[in-house]
Amino acid sequence: MSLETELRSRLAGKNVLLMTHIVLGYPSFAINREVIAGMVAGGVDCIEMQIPFSEPMADGPVILKANQESIAAGTKVADCMAFAAEMTRQHPIPFLFMTYYNIIFKYGEERFFADCAAAGIKGLIVPDLPPEMGGDYYRLARETGVAAVPIFAPTSTEGRMAELHRVADGFIYCVARRGVTGKQSSFDEDFDRYLARCRAATSLPLAVGFGIRSREDIAAISGKADMAVIGSETIRLVDSEGPAAVAPFIAGLR
């Protein structure tokens, strides 16, 4: 089943889906296992697993620190692939990788896509690869069935959104505001106008991320977007209260 089809199936009877984010290897793969189990128990519909990179340009201080500490602990791409295969076998939800293009380039694009498909990964989010430079990337995504998920931003023009939609698969990740992850976003009239532009630009489901922290934030985008992405907040929660706090937090978001 394709990522888009699976997400649309999960939308039946729900106002909005939930996608969460973890950094693989932070604070350890053992804790990652506990956190993912808690997320699934809490009712998430999709999980975005970040392969750590030394210069994660789209990420704020919480996720940046997690990337750096995971790399310092010795996390390798092969470890992430093996972990992904384990998670997709254990949990009946779609899993994606998020990372930066240097990781894929160094690993080898064909090998990376083949290993993602073998591990059961449904999609990829790569913030620093523009479509003009991603010919082989998008070709391999189509050939392997691993959805290439692009990113819309408030600064994206209608023309740019159309170009991104042309190569998109699975869903569109809509950044809620300018800047990096982790800061609070404002879901005001400007946001509504931006989201309306996103909706007009694509027939794919829309996910909204950056700064989503609470039940109130989820309610603000319910009925306007198809999926809410919770990232830095769950990392903060695990750091402060441990993995056992994840399931009740996720369950309380809807």
Q: Mind telling me the catalytic residues?
A: 48, 59
How does DSSP classify residue 25? T
Label the pairing between strands 123-125 and 151-152: unpaired
Question: Quick one: which of 12, 9, 126 has its CA closest to 58?
Answer: 126
C-beta of residue 56 within 8 angstroms of C-beta of residue 64: yes
Give dist(CA 199, CA 195) in Å, integer: 6
Q: How would you class 15 by CB atoms within 10 Å of its CB: exposed for 0-12, middle for 13-18, buried for 19 or more?
A: middle
Measured CA to CA in angstroms, residue 67 lies from 30, 96, 209 at distances of 16, 17, 18
C-beta of residue 247 within 8 angstroms of C-beta of residue 38: yes
C-beta of residue 178 within 8 angstroms of C-beta of residue 155: yes
